[in-house]
Each structure stands twice: as C-alpha cells, then as structure tokens.
A = this chain, B = another copy of it.
C-alpha cells in the first residue's frame, strides 16, 4: 500500500510568546520552512487576530504548511502536509520548532490517501 501524502501534526508548547504574535516573523518562518524542505510555494494567507494570535497558511505545490498560535498559552498548532518523494517535511518541522523556541512538543504523522498504486512515492510501513 502506498500513501499520496504525509501529514505531520505538531503541538508546540512553551514557545516564545512574542514570536507567536509576530505575523511578519511567522510569514518568513513558514516560507523558509517550505523552501528548506524542497517545497514550492504557490500561495499564502496570514491573519493577525485582536488582541493576539496569528493564523497562517502557505499553500505549496506539495500540499500545505499551516500555523495557528495562541500566545497567551505559548502554544502553536503546526501542520506540515506534503506529497511526493522530493520533499522532506521533517526539515520544515524542525525549522519551525527552532524558530518558535518551543521547549516542549509532540508530533504525530498521518499518511493521507492510501492507494494501491506503487508509482506514488510514499510507501506505507
């Protein structure tokens, strides 16, 4: 069996709360994360909430990278969803964790789109 996509779901805790509220910083961070994992950016949408918090999504040719932050809890929910065998989503995850100065985290991986076609790049284990 093969999967069309890999979806990393990160719970980032005890982060730098100033960074979690900085839209420009997070926009740069997610775009850099896309580049460092060999993805191609095709669009983005970022929004700063009042009084605090940011939602940001980078649309990549290989799916998406998203972030939702709650500075008041020093928490961010990050998703790195990629398809194809030319990207390395772990690299994006690692870059984001570092930039947000997450002192605690959890990460799970889900395989999305299970098919029986061996031409797709991602074999399930």
Does A55 lie within 8 Å of B64, measured CB to CB?
Answer: yes
Does B5 lie within 8 Å of A68, measured CB to CB?
Answer: yes
Does A63 lie within 8 Å of B68, measured CB to CB?
Answer: yes
Count A-side interface residues using an 8 Å CB cutoff. Answer: 35
- Residue in B9, B57, B112 whose beta carbon sits within 8 Å of that of A11 in the complex: B112
If A55-B59, A112-B11 touch, does A4 touch B75 (CB 8 Å cutoff)?
A: yes
Complex Cα spacing A63 to B68, Å:
7
Does B43 lie within 8 Å of A11, measured CB to CB?
Answer: no
If A42-B47, A47-B42, A83-B68 touch, does A73 touch B9 (CB 8 Å cutoff)?
A: no
Binding site for B on A (CB under 8 A): 4-5, 7, 9, 11, 42-47, 49, 55-57, 59-61, 63-64, 66, 68, 70, 73, 75, 77, 79, 81, 83, 110, 112-115, 117
